[in-house]
Chain A
């Protein structure tokens, strides 16, 4: 099955970010920024800052947020664009395929956060106060048509993709119920007959 990394594509916001950094000026030099024609590029810090706003950072802690972001990057790197999707035992005669690679759109959205941060605050997104980050992010988020979390790969914005990635996880389920339910773990035939143990942080 062809995946993005099979074609030696870049890792989301790692090498790409390094390349972009070389093309732009540091965020602490707004005057110089105005002189360049290159857009301020998203840095790994941009995604981390977004994660700090949308994820339950107060519960996860800094290290927990970092792990989620790392997992999200890996998940995105290994996503196969337009993959053949599962068709249930009984449901439809259609063969369904997944969405195209969301990475270009999401990268552009992170860059847009940087651009607006530069223009409004003359600072990088990660460097502006948290309330300003949240306000900026809320302005750029597309209006959602409902309260359901999207399929992560179809999320219309990287922040929603990150949210959906996290909240679809077994770890988030355990966090909600404060129990080690471990939804995706293979556990043995006898297991599950007792109330799941309290989750260890």
Chain B
């Protein structure tokens, strides 16, 4: 006999999208909201100073047990599965996509248009910035369009970034501070940033992490949160395409099945696990998985590809002032080139090539004061780290599938992720990377610096999305432009899985904005 949990709205997953949705729905309605999370609940603000010290001294995980043993995907780049999700570790970076990201096919003849425009999403971008507490200094309006100022004042630039901004802008490319979800003033009951420079474990709570939202909603009794409960399958109502219940597993009592019943179900489990659950939920009527009459669940997984560079700059810089802070330019996201190329551009302070070393240039081992002397000599000129994300046009074959060879400890097939460049991206790749190299060379030359290292990272997927892409056409998408599954009236998908393409910069704010737009649509419906 299964233990039954009942609610009105059942949100599966407890990351940043789930937090946005739960908060907004709880403000505007009276229905019961249940959040179900497979991982642990880690509410640790009072422990963070000690966790930070251990992280600094030993590199220990400041969020211990933020994962589930045996629950992973081949090809995934993070294991975090806990209340708060991947954002527990994030750096708080919150740029918006640009208007072009939503219309690449119309504007450039490559890739896919979204079923919504930047203007459609703009109010929700601002709402997300308000809820997360984004601090920013706007860039030039033609490059960084927005209808209202950032909710929080921007961070003053560090000395290093002030110098790097002047240096980099000699190239004629404008840079401005990267917006971040970190408090520059007390905000929503959280502290001001102390620039501890360990944003993966913010000891003051100034950086937004979703568990703050859940903690508040729980204290106010606006939601119910069930942790350590892995949803294994969604089941349809008899003779209907509505979701009736979720079959789950209490990790503390794996032999006692749990049935979660609700009127509305929302997948908020990220791009991988949302798609995975739909595929696991195959039934007689939906043999390829729920919400999958289009055959596109798990397909069109997308991301951007980073091109990293380290540059020597003729400046006296002091690495260690606030290494997580950076400058941003959207100059190349908005530019119209003869051949399609779009990418963002970021700059950080760096100590690349300027770390203490054990051997001199001849390979002789250094000891004592010789190490320090050598270090001092090599640190006279500064260094900068730069990175460009360029958009990889998604391919249908870029997919999350059920891995026939691997199962989790409870016998369910695990997902595997295969990223593939579309034909467009294959054709554009050499040109794109050559253009980015030229940008780095231009910046270096204008500032009398030099490129120390340049690398295209082919293995790291920084902000993946897709798998349940949105669209107006049920044959070409999994969910409608508001996140509702075409095939199931009471099933919604929010955040990363729904994106059509990954743009050229960090996607978290876009995931949050899309989720808030879904919340409005849910309320309206």
Contact = CB atoms under 8 A, between A and B. Distances in A.
Interface of A: 1, 53-59, 75, 78-80, 83-95, 98, 134, 138, 141, 144, 146-149, 151, 153, 160, 163, 167, 170, 172-173, 175-177, 179, 181-196
Given A75-B57, A176-B375, A192-B195, A88 B200 contact: yes
Given A93-B77, A147-B359, A196-B159, A181 B320 contact: yes
A52 to B, nearest CB: 8
Contacts of B72: 93
Contacts of B157: 193
A84 B79 CA distance: 13
Contacts of A85: 59-61
Nearest to A153: B58
Q: Which of A134, A141, A151, A177 has the most CB of B within 10 A?
A: A177
Interface string B341-381: 00000000000000111111000010111011001100100
A183 B320 contact: yes
Nearest to A188: B194
B interface, by DSSP: helix, strand, loop or mixed? loop
25 contacts: A56-B372, A59-B369, A59-B372, A83-B58, A83-B60, A87-B79, A90-B86, A90-B463, A91-B460, A95-B67, A98-B58, A138-B365, A146-B358, A147-B359, A148-B357, A149-B356, A177-B379, A181-B318, A181-B320, A184-B198, A189-B156, A189-B184, A192-B156, A194-B159, A196-B159
A175 B319 CA distance: 12
B368 A54 contact: yes
B59 A86 contact: yes
A151 to B, nearest CB: 7
Contacts of B365: 138, 141, 144
A181 B78 CA distance: 32
A91 B77 contact: yes
A53 B367 contact: yes
A89 B359 contact: no
Contacts of B77: 90-93
Nearest to B78: A90
A85 B56 CA distance: 11
A83 B371 CA distance: 30
Given A79-B58, A93-B76, A86 B371 contact: no
A34 B67 CA distance: 56
A163 B86 CA distance: 35
